[in-house]
Structure 1
């Protein structure tokens, strides 16, 4: 059975963003069942967990054949064995790889900088000084991304693929802002992917243990 590590609970701002959702979504699209392997923050630094994930993060993944960490690598592994996530022809596969890495290497660094400032350092003087430049770079990259998408529904081969899982996840990290509203094609792209049944199942499954933890300790719902 496939196992994916995930947190028992995270603060509200991180719910729906923790990267196990990428793997959950890929597995749902591929029609593969899996089990949660839930960990607490106290487990991250243990030798047992570091043996599975050297940085103490989630997700870690195992399927009886391989053990992996890094969500992008795991999604790629799943996609290589699923027609739903990657086409069979060499050219099509190459385009999926191209856009998958574009999401991680070209778009995400700027989005992650902005999210880090807004969510963790917003009141610090250096962050207030730095933020306008970071937002400008985010907007520049989004403009380029929207131009590349054009009037297509998906980035690779005009069909849904693993690349769209990563790109959508990256763009969702802007949902604490209204920036994406200025890029209607990208906003529609994210909404289109969030409407997919596989994404909805993945999101519901990620949120389920958080809701259970909050029901047991209502103070958690406030981010305590």
Structure 2
């Protein structure tokens, strides 16, 4: 049985989320909070809480302040943002602050259930359209936009490509290790190598880069040419 909490100041939206969870995750329990203070109180009193769905527009927290407060008070607690804001910068900032996912409020019911199930399995969730969105171009000192340099996917080994494909699906290290029949520590080693070779600072940046490339086609081409 999973325990979730939705923190949103709109009662009708909380009721809608409750209906979705009751229908799609019938063995789950849902707590409701209408403010950040409510969310912090529930989190402190409920040790079995598995996931928080946090709105960015709470009356006592502006923007990502609520996420910062929850992460500071309960760093063990998985928090996913559930918001109408779909700006790429907001999503990246939320993930950099430790959010385990970002779910737009416009997400269809079926996709919302899929997202919640994925998050409850310990995976990361990002909306597919965000994953496919092109990177923001760089700006030169003269103010002229230039294309961002493409990640060096060709420098990755076949196994590193397989790990990156798993990451891009939001799979955890444990899931990737099971799928590839390797140790979880080996997955961590591959992830470190991937970040270094792609010149990115974290898993989120690697996932976003992977969303802009056809890694499966590259891997298939390699494997085909090696036969």
Pick the TM interval, shorter chain.
under 0.3
Higher relative contact order (CA 8 A, sep 6+): 1
Point out the structure with max Rg over C-alpha.
Answer: 2
TM norm structure 1:
0.26
More helix by share: 1
